[in-house]
Homo-oligomer: A and B are copies of this chain.
Amino acid sequence: MTLILNNDEIQKALDNKECLDVMEDSYREQAHSRAVNRPTCHSYLPHSLPNSTYSFKSVDGGVGKLGVLALRVTSDIVQEQQLHGSTRLEKIPLAKGLFVGLVQLFSAETGELLAIMPDGFIQQVRVGVTSALGMKVMARRNSRTMGLIGSGGQARAHYRFMTSVMPIDKVKVFSPNAEHRKTFVAEMAKETGVEGEPVGSAEEAVTGVDVICSATNSSRPVVQAGWLRPGMHYNSIREFETDMAVLDRCDVISIHTRFGGIQHYQPPGIEDDMPGVRREKPRDWSKYPEICDLIAGKTPGRTNDQQITFFLNNVGTGVQFAAMGYCAYKGAKKKGLGKEIPTEWFLQDIKP
């Protein structure tokens, strides 16, 4: 049978510790030539809405030990909107008011399609889990306090997983909306059992903490290099929320993946005439080691308590979706969650 899951079922199916263990193991496999990643590709078509483009993104990757390969796709209509004088890209939910993003899990043993699930919850978990694993190999072992910037889905996953890998006993949270950060802290403290404190500025959130985490969708730096102090670990989930001056202040730097170069495909001839296509060129991060090599012990992480460490949890990879898709699939099977449809619907006797 092929399993169909929704986000609620995935949330119930996933076990936090197992997510961390399976992802950690997958990075070790990757570091030892037993996992594969195919970089993200975007395909674009003109859309009938003003200033809009249809955007189809795909990435895949697999882990031999888990016996799976995951394909993640998103199918979005992206609109350029003007807000306070700057241009932002907004995804428009035209699919009955909802969004389309899927993780498809294939067996690398038989080829079969094991499961189809939305990517929304997994997307948050895979980023949070990777940040937590980065913290585990880079932050001071006696880290106890964290400053978190953001109160969205990603911030939620980061609160959850970064407080799981070290005995953090307090998280200071800043996000621009006072009501949001208050509600967020109350919910996350209840879920994790780790005390939280909403604070009034980003600087206040990071002052005096051991670990800083920015988990926003900002295109401008949210943490200033001058705020970093000896012994701190800083985790960022987007290169454009990172002040480049941070790099000069840090002693040990690692990135998630060197596969930063997303490949963009547009109808030939109108490459410069499509709204909704990101123009920012990613920076070149290829001189920094990938976190999988730190996790596997192939590259040293922090070597003393005075160092400032920085992990840029940049572009996602197929291996992350394979690892978290595997956890969701196994967990759902164990707990009897989701809907099943015949695998035979996705098989054929015509030889390729």
Contact = CB atoms under 8 A, between A and B. Distances in A.
Given A41-B38, A54-B111, A346 B69 contact: no
Given A69-B75, A120-B348, A349-B99, A62 B38 contact: no
A94 interface: yes
Nearest to A55: B111
B112 A75 contact: yes
A118 B345 CA distance: 8
Contacts of A64: 45-46, 267
B33 A269 contact: yes
B343 A95 contact: yes
A58 B58 contact: yes
Nearest to A153: B350
Contacts of A98: 344, 347-349
Interface stretch (A101-109, A190-198, A231-239): A101-109
Contact of A108 (B33, B45, B110, B345): B45
B109 A102 contact: no
Given A71-B73, A76-B352, A102 B346 contact: yes
Interface in A319-350: 339, 341, 343-350
B346 A47 contact: no
Nearest to A5: B345
Interface residues of A, number: 80
A43 B69 contact: yes
A265 interface: yes
A44 interface: yes
Contact of A7 (B341, B344, B348): B348
Interface string A30-60: 1011111111010111111000001010101
A121 B43 contact: no
Contact of A4 (B43, B62, B345, B351): B345
A318 interface: yes
B265 A119 contact: no
Given A45-B63, A120-B348, 10 more contacts: A7-B350, A36-B265, A41-B60, A56-B71, A75-B111, A96-B344, A118-B347, A120-B352, A123-B350, A153-B350
List the 3 closest pairs (A to B, CB-CB), nearest first.
A120-B350, A33-B269, A98-B347
